[in-house]
């Protein structure tokens, strides 16, 4: 490998790595806040905080890596222009097109990483995270209830247990509030126990009272009853309801699945590496600047292009899932024009666009 390629590829790799580290830290903060909110609502057990945080970060890698690649290349190429290194290279006969070889040395491994994360690692992480939460939700303790704390239930309502056994199946001083339309249902019990019957979670309340009446309090149509045993079915957890979602299926399984949802998920997984390649090609002409020109304007423009691309990818996936867009179109209407634009601007180094703007 020539010395110039080694130098430029090292510059690109350092800048991309620094951008990925910063984006990773920011993403961890956002994922941590989301997990804390889900734990407060009883959807994720607190004991799975670190494992869920790591698995969700892996599932978001197809969206984080393209942005880190784009920003890192902008920083590296922008520094070459700012320090007049690109002008020295141009005087020596090395133009922007000559950057393609060191650029691909850095971009190709990242594209393989993005493709692996999108097609295999991300779905695997989603499936493992869902299975861990579903396994934990088999007992009431990790399903969100903690002794001495009011916990919202996934189907609506609030549950409270003053005491709880170590395995989460035996409860004491139980309170359950539910709403059904314009009627409310309040049940209290000295003790309770949780068990499963053919996959459904059932809560048996022992020796308690039940009050049923209007939720608004507009009239006095209330009924009070005392019971020795009252069984109620708890709502299914969100992870159980999403078990058959295409998002948790491996990529080879999606190839043989019928339906618009499977096609939308498949195109969603194919898009990130192609989108990242288009961003990498756009980075070089966007980073072109004079030595005294500020380079952060191009970074803002590139970030806006990333947002537009990702939002259109999400919108196109939703159209595919709803059947609004034919499955044959997929996301090619977005990916192919962006790739063509990146190749064209890289080949012209942005000169055609600048000349048109001056005219």
pLDDT score of 238 more than 60? no
Say if 144 falls within a structural domain.
no
The answer as to whether 141 is a domain residue is: no
Element (H, E) at 275: helix 260-286
Assigned domain for 164 exists = yes
For residues 26 and 37, what is the distance between their CA atoms, to the nearest angstrom?
Answer: 17
Show the domain range for 213. Answer: 151-236
Q: Is residue 143 part of a domain?
A: no
Domain shared by 54 and 116, yes or no: yes
Among residues 52, 49, 41, the alpha carbon closest in space to that of 238 is found at: 41
Q: Is residue 53 part of a domain?
A: yes
Same domain, 232 and 99: no
Looking at the fold, whether 119 and 50 belong to one and the same domain comes out as: yes
Contacts of 238 (CB under 8 A, 6+ apart): 43, 154
User: 37-61, pLDDT tens digit by residue?
Assistant: 887 766 777 778 888 899 999 999 9
For CA atoms 333, 338, 341, 343, the dihedral sign is negative
Note the pLDDT of residue 354. 47
Position 44 in a domain: yes
CA distances from 39 to 34, 49, 52, 147, 213 (A): 9, 9, 11, 15, 31
Residues 11 and 126 in one domain: yes
pLDDT over threshold 60, residue 242: no
pLDDT given for residue 141 in this prediction: 44
What is the DSSP pairing of strand 183-197 with strand 151-152?
unpaired
End residue of a domain, out of 213, 236, 259: 236
Query: Does 146 fall in a domain?
Result: no
Same domain (yes/no): 251, 229: no
Q: Per the structure, how many domains does the chain have?
A: 2
Q: pLDDT for 61-79, tens place per residue? A: 999 999 999 999 988 888 8
What pLDDT score was predicted for residue 19?
92
Q: Do 344 and 210 belong to one domain?
A: no
From CA 254, how far away is CA 265, in angstroms rounded? 8
Tell me the pLDDT tens digit for each residue of 205-229. 888 998 888 877 667 778 888 988 8
Does 32 share its domain with 71?
A: yes
Q: 254 with 222, same domain?
A: no
Tokens representing 332 are 């090619």
The residues, ordered by sequence, that sit 6+ positions from 169 with a Cβ below 8 Å of its Cβ are 139, 140, 193, 194, 195
Token reading at 105 = 């040395």
Domain boundary among 220, 236, 252: 236
Residue 359 pLDDT > 60:
no
Residues 284 and 304 in one domain: yes
- Which own/partner contact pairs does 223-229 have at CB distance under 8 Å and 24+ positions apart? 229/204, 229/205
pLDDT at residue 304 tops 50: yes
pLDDT of residue 275: 92
Contact 157, 174 (CB under 8 A): no
Share of the chain above pLDDT 70, in %: 84
| Same domain membership, residue 260 and residue 302 | yes
Average pLDDT over residues 305-330: 88
- Residue that finishes a domain, picked among 236, 257, 279: 236
Residue 190, in any domain of the structure: yes
Residues 282-296: tens digit of each pLDDT? 888 888 776 666 666
What pLDDT does residue 244 have?
Answer: 66
Q: Are residues 44 and 171 in the same domain?
A: no
Flag whether pLDDT at 137 surpasses 70. Answer: no
270 shares its domain with 231: no
């Amino acid at each position: 490998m020539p010395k110039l390629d080694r130098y430029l590829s090292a510059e690109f790799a350092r800048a991309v790595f620094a951008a990925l580290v910063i984006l990773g830290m920011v993403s961890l903060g956002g994922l941590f806040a989301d997990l804390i909110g889900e734990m407060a609502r009883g959807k994720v057990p607190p004991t799975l905080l670190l494992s869920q945080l790591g698995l969700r970060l892996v599932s978001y890698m197809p969206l984080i890596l393209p942005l880190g690649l784009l920003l890192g290349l902008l920083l590296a190429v922008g520094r070459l222009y700012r320090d007049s290194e690109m002008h020295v290279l141009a005087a020596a006969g090395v133009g922007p097109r000559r950057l393609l070889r060191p650029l691909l040395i850095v971009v190709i491994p990242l594209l393989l990483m993005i493709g692996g994360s999108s097609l295999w690692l991300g779905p695997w992480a989603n499936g493992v995270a869902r299975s861990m939460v579903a396994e934990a939700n088999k007992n009431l303790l990790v399903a969100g209830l903690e002794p001495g704390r009011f916990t919202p239930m996934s189907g609506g309502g609030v549950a409270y247990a003053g005491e709880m056994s170590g395995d989460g199946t035996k409860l004491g001083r139980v309170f359950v509030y539910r709403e059904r339309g314009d009627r409310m249902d309040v049940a209290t019990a000295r003790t309770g126990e949780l068990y499963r019957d053919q996959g459904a979670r059932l809560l048996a309340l022992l020796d308690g009272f039940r009050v049923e009446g209007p939720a608004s309090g507009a009239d006095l149509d209330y009924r009070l009853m005392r019971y020795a045993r009252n069984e109620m079915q708890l709502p299914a957890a969100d992870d159980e309801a999403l078990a058959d979602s295409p998002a948790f299926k491996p990529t080879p399984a999606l190839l043989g699945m019928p339906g618009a949802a499977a096609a939308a998920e498949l195109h969603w997984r194919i898009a990130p590496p192609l989108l990242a390649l288009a961003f990498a090609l756009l980075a070089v002409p966007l980073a072109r600047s004079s030595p005294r020109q500020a380079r952060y304007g191009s970074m803002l423009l590139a970030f806006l292009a990333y947002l537009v691309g990702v939002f259109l990818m999400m919108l196109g996936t939703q159209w595919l899932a709803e059947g609004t867009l034919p499955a044959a179109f997929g996301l090619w209407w977005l990916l192919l024009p962006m790739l063509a634009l990146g190749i064209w601007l890289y080949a012209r180094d942005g000169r055609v666009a600048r000349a048109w703007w001056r005219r």
